[in-house]
């Protein structure tokens, strides 16, 4: 498997594009993206577990009931959640895309991100969408058009071989705030030319989401709009994957690679973040225990603030583990901080040990830091990702709507 360029258009038969419809007066850049396959695709998606779901999620659920889709339309600047005319406008958005492409509106996935509670200006989308241009190198434009407080566009793609055929799988996503996914994160669109049944596509997606997007946290807030969609158009010509055989394993690895990289990009670009925090938990009794511990550490405001200050305050790491509700024995725990600048053990058997504070500061000042925990109880492990808590998070969210 190798990393390639092309993002959401890396797979054969997909094009994308974007334009500015004018959804928000204050946004000068493109706000609407369209991603299209030249033929029908097996499709699978996961959505937010938030009880308050945005209107486009209900429309997408309905359109994907048959496991088939051909296009994705997404906008930034308005979440179309708790908004007047939400369902009607989400339907009109799918219809506008279907009309532009000459396809059935039932084959269109709809996604929105932005402010909650305000009516989506669907008229400006209907007016402008006919002029959108689609291109095989349109991934980057689409990735930019779905950004909100993201500071960079997020995209990755891989190439792999199944049954002697070269397959490609790539995606784009956006994150930034309200990131504590309970499934996928904000918006993530993945395409592949690999031939795979919609059932197995859904299996793979659900399995991989659990270990990637569900393990990142920016601020503990789960959005109303989280959507992660995969379209597989089969253009690679490989034998159809419709069983959990070795070909499925290859596909699963490719999907894991792409989604892990996208999840890390979202964590690293959390609102106001200056660094990516990875927390690994080793030797837990079960993977669920390891996951709970790693996620609690990444989500702790106090750990996040300490990471911002490059403060080796490992007591907060143990404290967060303690309230995670996962079983472990504090007196067995080892904690180390790792980065490109080195590794330092700061807690052994649950108690403080003498360590070089200067070296710790240097290690924690890097832009990627790992909190490595060993609970010395079993064979399971898990990794979670997050970011630091900074002045800019407060600034960005103190007045988001203006």
Q: 6 phi and psi, to 5 degrees?
A: 110, -15
Comparing CB distances to a copy of itself, the nearer of 47 and 248 is 47
Applying CB under 8 A, which of residues 7, 170, 177, 386 lies at the interface with a copy of itself? Answer: 177
Q: Which of 60, 80, 223, 280 binds a copy of itself (CB under 8 A)?
A: 223
The answer to whether the Cα torsion of 129, 133, 136, 142 is positive or negative is: negative
Q: Which of 97, 270, 305, 85 is nearest to 177 (CA)?
A: 270
Name every residue whose Cβ is closer than 8 Å to that of residue 350 and which is 6 or more positions away in sequence. Answer: 318, 329, 330, 331, 332, 333
SS3 state at 368: strand
Sign of the alpha-carbon dihedral angle for 94, 97, 101, 102: positive
Q: Give yes or no for residue 337 binding a copy of itself (CB under 8 A).
A: no
CB of 382 to a copy of itself, least distance (A): 18
- Complete DSSP assignment for 293-317: HHHHHHH-HHHHHHHHTT---HHHH
- How far apart CA 184 and CA 295 sit, in angstroms, is 15
Q: Which range, of 95-103, 139-147, 238-246, 300-308, touches a copy of itself by CB under 8 A?
A: 300-308
Tell which one of 43, 318, 336, 384 touches a copy of itself (CB under 8 A).
Answer: 318
Q: Which stretch binds a copy of itself (CB under 8 A): 28-36, 115-123, 134-142, 229-237?
A: 115-123
Exactly one of 267, 347, 373, 384 binds a copy of itself (CB under 8 A); that residue is 347
d(CA 397, CA 66): 39
Give the residue, chosen from 25, 26, 51, 130, that forms a contact with a copy of itself under the rule CB under 8 A: 51
Residue 390 found at the interface with a copy of itself (CB under 8 A): yes
Smallest gap from Cβ 4 to a copy of itself, in A, equals 36
Please tell me whether residue 213 binds a copy of itself under the rule CB under 8 A.
Answer: no
CA atoms of 373 and 290, how far apart (whole Å): 9
Under 8 Å between Cβ of 353 and 268: no
Query: Any idea which residue has 């290859």 for tokens?
Result: 250
Q: In this chain, which of 3, 29, 119, 368 binds a copy of itself, going by CB under 8 A?
A: 119
Name which position in 47, 328, 337, 385 contacts a copy of itself (CB under 8 A).
328
C-beta of 156 vs 389, nearer to a copy of itself: 389
402 binds a copy of itself (CB under 8 A): yes
* 294/371 Cα distance (integer angstroms): 9
Taking only Cα atoms into account, the Rg of the chain, rounded to an integer number of angstroms, comes to 21
How far is the C-alpha of 168 from the C-alpha of 3, rounded, in Å?
10
Q: Which stretch binds a copy of itself (CB under 8 A): 22-30, 79-87, 147-155, 201-209?
A: 79-87
Detail the DSSP E strand segments found in 193-330.
216-217, 227-232, 276-284
Three-state DSSP state, 267: helix
Contacting a copy of itself (CB under 8 A), which of 3, 52, 88, 135? Answer: 52
Rule CB under 8 A: say whether 25 interacts with a copy of itself: no
Give the residue with the Cβ less far from a copy of itself, 7 or 114. 114
Q: Does 332 bind a copy of itself (CB under 8 A)?
A: no
**Residue 356 binds a copy of itself (CB under 8 A):** no
| Contact window for a copy of itself (CB under 8 A) among 66-74, 157-165, 299-307, 363-371 | 299-307
Which residue in the set 117, 163, 237, 378 belongs to the binding site for a copy of itself (CB under 8 A)? 117
Q: Are strands 216-217 and 380-387 parallel, antiparallel or unpaired?
A: parallel
Rule CB under 8 A: which of 129-168 touch a copy of itself? Answer: none
Q: Please provide the distance, in angstroms rounded to a whole number, between the alpha carbons at the two ends of the chain.
A: 44
Q: Is 298 in the site for a copy of itself (CB under 8 A)?
A: no
Smallest distance from a copy of itself to CB 343, Å: 19
**Residues designated as active site:** 185
Distances (CA, A) of 85 to 111, 226, 293: 15, 20, 41
* Contacts with a copy of itself, residue ranges (CB under 8 A): 49-53, 79, 81-84, 86, 115-119, 177-178, 180, 182, 219-224, 299-302, 305-306, 308-309, 311, 313-316, 318-324, 327-328, 330, 347, 350-352, 389-391, 393-402
């Amino acid at each position: 498997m190798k990393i390639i360029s092309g993002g959401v258009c890396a797979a054969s038969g997909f094009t994308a594009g974007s334009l500015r419809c004018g959804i928000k007066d204050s946004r000068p850049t493109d706000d609407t993206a369209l991603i299209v396959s030249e033929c029908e695709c097996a499709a699978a998606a996961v959505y937010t577990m938030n009880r308050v779901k945005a209107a486009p999620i209900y429309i997408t659920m309905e359109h994907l009931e048959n496991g088939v889709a051909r296009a994705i339309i997404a906008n930034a600047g308005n979440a179309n959640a708790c908004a007047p005319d939400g369902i009607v406008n989400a339907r009109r958005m799918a219809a506008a895309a279907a009309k532009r492409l000459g396809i059935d509106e039932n084959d269109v996935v709809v996604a929105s991100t932005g402010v909650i509670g305000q009516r989506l200006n669907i008229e400006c989308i209907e007016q402008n969408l006919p002029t959108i241009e689609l291109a095989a190198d349109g991934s980057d434009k689409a990735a930019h058009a779905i950004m909100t407080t993201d500071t960079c566009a997020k995209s990755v793609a891989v190439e792999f071989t199944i049954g002697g055929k070269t397959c490609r799988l790539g995606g784009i996503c956006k994150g930034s705030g309200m990131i504590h996914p309970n499934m996928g994160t904000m918006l993530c669109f993945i395409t592949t030319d690999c031939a795979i049944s919609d059932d197995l596509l859904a299996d793979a997606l659900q399995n991989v989401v659990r270990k990637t997007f569900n393990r990142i946290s920016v601020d503990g807030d789960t959005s109303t709009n989280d959507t992660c969609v995969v379209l597989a158009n089969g253009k690679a010509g490989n034998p159809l994957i419709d069983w959990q055989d070795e070909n499925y394993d290859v596909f699963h690895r490719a999907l894991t690679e792409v989604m892990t990289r996208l999840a890390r990009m979202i964590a690293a670009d959390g609102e106001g973040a200056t660094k990516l925090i990875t927390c690994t938990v080793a030797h837990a009794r079960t993977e669920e225990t390891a996951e709970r511990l790693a996620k609690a550490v990444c989500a702790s405001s106090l750990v996040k603030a300490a990471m911002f200050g490059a403060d080796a305050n490992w007591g907060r790491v143990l404290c967060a583990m303690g309230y995670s509700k996962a079983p472990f024995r504090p007196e067995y725990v080892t904690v180390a901080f790792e980065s490109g600048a080195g590794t330092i053990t700061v807690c052994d058997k649950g108690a403080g040990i003498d360590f070089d504070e200067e070296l710790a500061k240097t290690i924690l000042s890097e832009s990627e830091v790992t909190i490595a925990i060993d609970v010395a109880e079993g064979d399971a492990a898990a990794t979670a990702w997050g970011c630091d808590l900074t002045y800019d998070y407060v600034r960005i969210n103190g007045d988001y709507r203006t």
